[in-house]
Amino acid sequence: MTTSVRDQRTRDDREELTALIAAGAAQLTTAWSILHTSQRTLLDRLAQIEGGRAVGAAQQIRIALVAFNANVGEFDRRARAFVERWAAQDLPVAYRVGAVRALERAAASRDLFTWTANHQAAITGLTAPFWGDLIRRIAEAVRRAQAFARAAQDAARSVLGVQAERLLDEHPLDTVIYANQARHPVRSWAAAALSWQGVVTANHGAINTARDELGAEWMEVRDGPECGWVNHPDTDHADGTLRSLDECATYPSAHHGCIREFYPRPDLTGRTDIADGDPA
């Protein structure tokens, strides 16, 4: 049995999206590692200063803090540069991947997709909040690094001196802290955050292409067998169902790590006997 050209292209597109997300997560994690590495370096340097009130200690502490703050600035620059590239270059690639996959699944030419005004407006609307989410995380990381620097400085000047493990536990710069105070390693957070953004963007590319280029009104959903439509535990299972374009746009993904995909069904356009959630 041979693999059709269309199937091979669809597989290549999926791999392109996966590679895009993985590369982005690695770059963001690498930028974040500057914080943790410089945090360890600062603690080591402060621990070597014998007594925060000794002659020359204040200057040594100041020099160590200047170096740490310079590294925080370097992290901020690198991380923000990544986010700019991600929003301006990578997410549009993800959108196009979703668009051409949708065309392939409908046995239509990939060349039907072009960056029309509607598609340009759609990607702008998607990338703006995603860009903001990542920038807020970076700003929060900088704030936490500055709080750590103040705590480390106070410890170096105190009688007890620098207690490295306590400071690392109270100021874990190798993690992202969620609103519920849960700590997540930067690598896992970056992979989850960028995967969510990439998949949602690709699925919107598919939805908008189904509407604009194919004239479709319904999408066939492919998802994990146990995944619910609104969220993972939802008893309204998504896989193998038909959903309207508006419903798909509302729930392009159910959760972080969701593998949801949409197959355009232009053959069902005009049908009035279909409801959201009907089997395909």
How many residues does this entry show for the chain?
280
* Amino acid type, 212: D
Beta bridge partners of 219: 243, 264
Query: Is the model's pTM score more than 0.75?
Result: yes
Question: From CA 238, how far away is CA 241, in angstroms rounded?
Answer: 6
What pLDDT, on the 0 to 100 scale, is given for residue 5? 45
Q: What sections of 86-185 are H helices per DSSP?
A: 91-105, 117-157, 164-170
Nearest CA to 115 out of 101, 99, 137, 91 is that of: 99
Q: Identify the CA nearest to 126 among candidates 252, 272, 273.
A: 252
Measured CA to CA, the distance from residue 221 to residue 199 in angstroms comes to 14
- Angle in degrees, CA 238, 123, 125, rounded to 5: 90
Q: What angle do CA 177, 234, 217 make, to 5 degrees?
A: 105
* pLDDT score at 77: 98
Is residue 53 helix, strand or coil? coil
Print pLDDT tens along the chain (280 aa). 334 445 555 566 678 899 999 999 999 999 999 999 999 999 999 988 765 556 678 889 999 999 999 999 999 999 999 999 999 999 999 999 999 999 999 999 999 999 999 999 999 999 999 999 999 999 999 999 999 999 999 998 887 788 999 999 999 999 999 888 899 999 999 999 999 999 999 999 999 999 999 999 999 999 999 999 999 999 999 999 999 999 999 999 998 888 899 999 999 999 999 999 999 9
pLDDT score at 91: 97
Beginning with the edge strand found earlier in the chain, give each strand of the sheet holding 242-244 in spatial order: 242-244, 218-222, 261-264
Confidence (pLDDT) at 54: 62
Q: Which residues pair with 220 in a beta bridge?
A: 242, 263
**Cβ-proximal residues to 73 (8 Å cutoff; 6+ apart), any chain:** none
Bridge partners (DSSP) of residue 248 are none
Contact 7, 144 (CB under 8 A): no
Phi/psi at 172 (5° precision) = -80, 95
Instruction: For 265, list phi and psi in degrees, rounded to 5.
Output: -125, 70
What is the rounded CA–CA span in Å between residue 161 and residue 24? 39
**DSSP 3-state of 237:** strand
